[in-house]
Structure 1
Amino acid sequence: MSTLTGPAILPILLLCASNIFMTLAWYGHLKFTSQPLWIVIFASWGIAFVEYCFAVPANRYGYGVYSAAELKTIQEVITLTVFAAFSVIYLKEALTWNHLIGFAFIAIGAGFIFKGPIGAGH
């Protein structure tokens, strides 16, 4: 397996693709408020199916390389990154200092997940 698709990288790439589709499914319809809700629900459901086609293999391939908690943490950090870009580029919303500080605190929390048990081995 090449470095770009190695066991540690492949789940991250799949989670990136997954999160792009999920962000579209959850928030893409916000620009189509004139469409009936049932139509956007079914459209979002179809997009979410594609998201699952990336998320399930990401977790299947990633588990063992990463713990379940680490996979979830990777997914959440990717979600915030994709959402921040999506909200600025697609929804044309401002990314404020409040958002950046909040995301930074979440990133700090993610760092603790990957650090391992505090005090272990000391």
Structure 2
Amino acid sequence: MHTFNCTCGHSIAIIPPSEHAGYVVLDSDADLHIDNRTVTIRAFLDAVRTGRRSEWLTEFYGPNVPQPRFAQKDDADVIEDILSNSDSWTRFLYRCPMCGRIHIETSPRSRSFKTYAEN
């Protein structure tokens, strides 16, 4: 469970799925990264087709991850990991149930938030 403190003092408990948390993706952020994600998926699929899957996985996950862990992943798992690891544009959003303020992450993975309140 994650908690987020609102500027009104209320502590927001985030228990997925949560009606107090969400995500924001700006078009300009996503457009910059979609092509990179596609290139990585194509490289993985090419490695599978050409028999270099194991080598590609070592490069993607790093040499410190044991080979048996790779064996447990099917291709769909690897593609999900590619999508998750390449998500550098999603910003977290929190809504305070007490005061209604919206807190949006100023930049992806920054853990810094800008707060908006109703007038």
* TM-score normalised by the chain length of structure 2: 0.34
Kindly indicate which of the two structures has a greater share of residues assigned to strand.
Answer: 2
Kindly indicate which of the two structures has a greater share of residues assigned to helix.
Answer: 1
Q: Which has the larger radius of gyration?
A: 2
